């Protein structure tokens, strides 16, 4: 089978050759041109700090135990003693998971006498629907 060679093209970004790209598929080159070039594409991406925040959020949502907690709190507000039974966790492990969820703004708590009552935040609800 003979290989068909494409015309060699070089892609430029503000006058410089993009490393490693001597030839791009025409559809990719056309799309980059529609976006105003590679520099415009790169400039439109979220910052590293924003992506880091998203990664932490996804990490918080990636654990089945934390998802079980969120699903439970989507039904009603609960205290840790009930969440402990639902998750079958020790106090310290449940506390860890609740702290992760709270740090990410997915759950919050209020005090009622000597108890903490956890509830799903709006952001936590959106995390469940994603």
What digits encode the pLDDT tens for the residues 64-96?
A: 999 999 999 999 999 999 999 999 999 999 999
H-assigned helices in the chain: 26-34, 38-44, 48-61, 64-75, 80-87, 91-103, 122-129
pTM for the whole thing? Answer: 0.67
Domain residue ranges in the chain: 12-44, 48-129
Four-residue CA torsion sign, 51, 57, 61, 62: positive
What's the first-to-final CA gap in the chain, in angstroms? 46
pLDDT for res 67? 94
Is 48-129 assigned to CATH 1.10.10.10? yes
pLDDT band at 8 (very low <50, low <70, confident <90, very high): very low
Q: What is the mean pLDDT of the chain?
A: 82
């Amino acid at each position: 089978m003979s290989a068909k060679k494409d015309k060699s093209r070089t892609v430029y970004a503000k006058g410089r050759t993009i490393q490693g790209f001597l030839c791009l598929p025409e559809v990719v080159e056309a799309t980059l041109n529609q976006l105003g070039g590679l520099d415009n594409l790169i400039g439109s991406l979220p910052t590293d700090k924003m992506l880091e925040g998203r990664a932490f959020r996804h990490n918080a949502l990636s654990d089945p135990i934390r998802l079980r907690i969120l699903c439970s709190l989507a039904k009603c507000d609960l205290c840790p003693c009930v969440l402990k039974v639902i998750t079958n966790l020790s106090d310290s492990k449940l506390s860890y998971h609740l702290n992760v969820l709270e740090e990410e703004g997915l759950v919050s708590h209020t005090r009622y006498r000597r108890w903490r009552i956890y509830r799903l935040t709006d952001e936590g609800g959106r995390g469940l629907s994603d």
